[in-house]
Each structure stands twice: as structure tokens, then as C-alpha cells.
């Protein structure tokens, strides 16, 4: 299983409990202001789930090192998973709260600005405060003026975390676009995801992995807790990641990558027309049907001739699959894997692959996957990676895997979250953004 033939080869191309009613305003909640401030000062994730999620985002998702050795990996605190048997029911409760927001007139549109950050003064901050107040992200005592102060910055961070954006507290285009989605649309988004959640949260078992495609997020779930969480890069809108229900059966260390015909045709041929040394620079070898190696100069790159040959990338730091592939049977030719492009995990929009799922800090996930497999402690995994040799580890117990499409939910921590409908499957309008990517 060390050699792969899939759609994974691009080289360039997730806050707080806030449902509470506020007298005299179109707002809602499950806790009073005093309780909320007390939770904000608490380090207990159960008391302050939004803070726990913000901590997760700032350290695991958007840190500077995305694949570390076992001695330095920061293990996340177990929290409520996106998918659990209770998710659909809790999301239904959130719908009622959003019905109330819509009935009260929704929230105001925030005026278009280039950027707002801490210390700035702008008339639009008044509308921004009101917008954050209605959604429960801003303390009701912090409204009224036009200064982008620490209260506003903290509220923007909360909003960003709930919408899967980098929580930097700065109002830029991506955050502004998400804020200006109407309340009725967000309510309808919650409604339509309930049916998905009911289907997806039955018979999950005690141990499984979920990839939520719109969230570009991976969770390892054990006994109803997310014990390992990872930012992901999934399929771009033109090459979407499919829904998958399978089982992870094997880990491949230092795999070859065999370029599929679709990428040869759509990407490799055009690149070779412009960069004749691309294959050589990226350690990709060409073989004919008799397994004879050919040179790039022997291929007519201005025709379809190249699709008749095998293109195989050597293992190494440069390999498009990185050092790890997580294998599961699938008719779609997609996998979960490492990547040499670690910086891709730090962006707000992570729909850049040809359908596969790149996993941030994938080594941590593999530690968990192989935890019940004899002979594969973390030290052995590290050694297999560092050896540079092709090594395969068969899981003693296959782990169920679900790639799902959920764009809105409220989990057992009570925090309502939204993600972009990047593939436009909700039918509620165009996605907030479409991104053009290249090989």
C-alpha cells in the first residue's frame, strides 16, 4: 500500500455559549452577564467552552509548527465533538433562538471597510457593536461608541472562532462577509443541517474519525469526546471532496505518489508546457507500460500523449503526500495525508486540494489511530517516518471514518457555529467566497 494513485497532488494550492435573551434588544442567551463574565475568567473548558475553542484555534490550528515530534506535540483538551447523538436536538434548540432573532428584525449590516483593528475610531464600529450584540458575542454593556476597543476586539475574536476564521480580532473582508450574512439565512442554515445531523449521528460507535468538509476540520472521537482535532485542507469547489463512509485500515509511511490521469491532464501537461524541468525538480519519474523509465524530453507535452504513461513521485520531504498517508477503501481515489506545504493550514479558506484531505499535525492523529495496534507506540511511528523508508502499519482494529458536509450546528457545549457552504449544497445562495487555486 506504499504506492498511491489518487487525486491528492497539488503543490500550492476551526464560542462561547451565547444564546441569551436581552431585554429591549434582538438578542438571546442561556446565561446572564455575571455568569458569562465568571465563565470568561474560568480555565475549565466545561465552564467556558468558547474559550476552550479559541485556545484550540490559536494553538493547534494556527500555530507556526504543524507537524512536530512526539516529545513536543501539544495534546488538545477533550471537548464536545461536532457530531454526537445529541447534536441534532441541540441544534434544533438553536433554531428557536434564531427564530427569535429574525422575528426581532435580525442584525444590522456592518458597513464595508478595508480593515478595522484595536485602537481605531470609525463610524462603522457603532453598527459593528450592535451586530455583535445581537449575536451574543459582545457584552450588552459595551455598546454605543465608535472606538474599536478591547471589548470589540474580543467580540470579533469570538465571532471568528464560531465561524471557523483565524481569531486575530481584526475586521477584514472574510470576517465582514460572514457578519453580513442575514440572520434568516443563518437560521435556515441551521434548519437544513438538522436532517443531515440526524442521519450522521446514529450508530457512530465508541471510536471514529470525522472530517467535516465545509469546516476543513478533522476530529478523532472517543467515547463522545473529541480527543484529537486537526485543521484540514479539502477539495476546492471545482474538485470537491466526496462524502465518505469507510474504515481506516492502514497507515503508509514515506509513500510514493502516483499521479492520477485527471491531474496529468488538467495540471501536469499545462505545467510541463511552461516549465520543462518541473518533473525533475519535483522528483517525479515517468514510466511506460513496460516499466521502463523515460525522460521528460521523450514526451510530447503539446498532446494527450502523457496520459498514457505513469508518473510517480519519490518519497521524501518534497512528496505531495508528505511522509504519511492514512489509507481507507474508497471508490473516489481520495485519502487523508500529510503535506510538505504546512503553511496552507493557517489560512481562512482551506479548500485547495483535488479532493483529498490534508491533515495538520497528522502525526498526532496517527498516534491515536495506532494506539490499539501492537508494536506501534509513538516512538516506533517517529522512527518509521525518520527512516525515509516505505513502511506500512495495519490497524489491529479498523477505525470508522466519515467525511461529512455540515455547515451549521450547535454541539453539547452550547456554542452555535457556522461554516461557508463552499460547494453550494445548502441552496441558500452563493458561497461567501470562491477561491481560484493552481497546482
Look up residue 199 and give its three cell numbers: 442521519
- Where does 254-316 show beta strands of DSSP type E? 256-258, 284-287, 293-294, 310-313
Look up residue 365 and give its three cell numbers: 492523529
User: 3-state SS of 83-139?
Assistant: CCCCHHHHHHHHHHHHHHHHHCCCCCCCCCCCCECCCCECCHHHHHHHHHHHCCCCC
Answer whether 54's CB lies under 8 Å from 77's CB.
no
Which residues, listed in sequence order, are joined to residue 217 by a DSSP beta bridge? Answer: 212, 231
DSSP 163: T
- For residue 211, which of 251, 167, 241, 252 has the smallest C-alpha distance? 241
Q: Please report which helix (H) or strand (E) contains residue 152, including its range.
A: helix 150-162
Residue positions annotated with a catalytic role: 337, 356
Cα angle value 150/153/154 (rounded, 5°): 85
Amino acid at each position: 500500500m506504499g504506492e498511491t494513485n489518487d487525486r491528492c497532488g497539488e503543490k500550492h494550492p476551526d464560542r462561547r455559549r451565547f444564546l441569551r435573551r436581552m431585554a429591549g434588544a434582538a438578542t438571546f442567551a442561556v446565561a446572564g452577564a455575571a455568569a458569562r463574565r465568571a465563565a470568561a475568567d474560568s480555565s475549565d473548558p466545561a465552564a467556558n467552552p468558547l474559550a476552550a475553542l479559541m485556545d484550540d484555534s490559536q494553538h493547534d490550528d494556527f500555530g507556526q509548527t504543524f507537524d512536530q515530534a512526539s516529545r513536543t506535540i501539544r495534546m488538545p483538551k477533550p471537548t464536545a465533538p461536532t457530531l454526537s447523538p445529541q447534536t441534532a436536538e441541540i441544534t434544533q434548540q438553536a433554531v428557536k433562538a434564531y427564530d427569535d432573532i429574525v422575528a426581532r428584525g435580525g442584525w444590522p449590516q456592518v458597513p464595508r471597510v478595508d480593515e478595522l483593528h484595536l485602537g481605531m475610531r470609525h463610524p462603522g464600529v457603532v453598527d459593528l457593536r450592535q451586530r455583535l450584540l445581537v449575536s451574543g458575542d459582545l457584552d450588552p454593556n459595551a455598546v454605543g461608541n465608535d472606538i474599536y476597543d478591547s471589548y470589540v476586539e474580543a467580540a470579533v475574536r469570538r465571532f471568528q472562532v464560531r465561524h471557523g476564521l483565524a481569531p486575530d480580532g481584526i475586521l477584514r473582508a472574510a470576517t465582514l462577509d460572514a457578519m453580513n450574512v442575514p440572520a434568516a439565512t443563518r437560521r435556515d442554515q441551521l434548519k437544513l443541517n438538522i436532517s443531515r445531523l440526524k442521519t450522521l449521528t446514529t450508530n457512530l460507535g465508541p471510536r471514529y474519525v470525522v472530517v467535516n468538509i465545509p469546516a476543513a476540520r478533522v476530529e478523532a472521537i472517543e467515547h463522545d469526546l473529541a480527543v484529537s482535532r486537526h485543521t484540514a485542507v479539502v477539495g476546492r469547489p471545482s474538485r470537491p471532496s466526496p462524502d465518505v463512509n469507510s474504515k481506516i485500515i492502514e497507515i503508509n509511511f514515506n509513500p510514493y505518489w502516483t499521479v492520477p490521469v485527471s491531474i496529468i491532464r488538467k495540471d501536469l501537461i499545462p505545467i510541463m508546457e511552461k516549465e520543462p524541468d518541473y518533473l525533475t525538480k519535483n522528483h517525479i519519474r515517468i514510466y511506460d507500460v513496460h516499466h521502463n523509465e523515460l525522460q521528460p524530453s521523450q514526451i510530447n507535452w503539446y498532446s494527450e500523449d502523457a496520459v498514457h504513461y505513469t508518473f510517480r513521485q519519490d518519497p521524501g520531504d518534497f512528496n505531495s503526500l508528505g511522509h504519511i498517508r492514512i489509507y481507507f477503501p474508497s471508490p473516489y481515489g481520495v485519502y487523508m495525508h500529510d503535506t510538505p506545504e504546512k503553511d496552507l493550514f493557517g489560512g481562512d479558506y482551506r479548500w485547495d486540494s483535488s479532493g483529498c484531505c490534508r491533515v495538520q499535525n497528522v502525526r498526532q492523529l496517527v498516534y491515536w489511530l495506532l494506539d490499539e495496534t501492537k508494536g506501534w507506540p509513538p516512538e516506533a511511528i517517529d522512527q518509521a517516518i525518520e527512516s525515509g523508508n516505505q513502511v506500512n502499519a495495519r490497524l489491529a482494529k479498523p477505525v470508522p471514518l466519515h467525511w461529512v458536509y455540515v455547515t451549521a450546528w450547535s454541539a453539547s457545549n452550547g456554542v452555535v457555529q457556522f461554516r461557508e457552504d463552499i460547494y453550494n449544497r445548502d441552496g441558500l445562495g452563493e458561497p461567501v467566497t470562491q477561491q481560484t487555486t493552481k497546482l
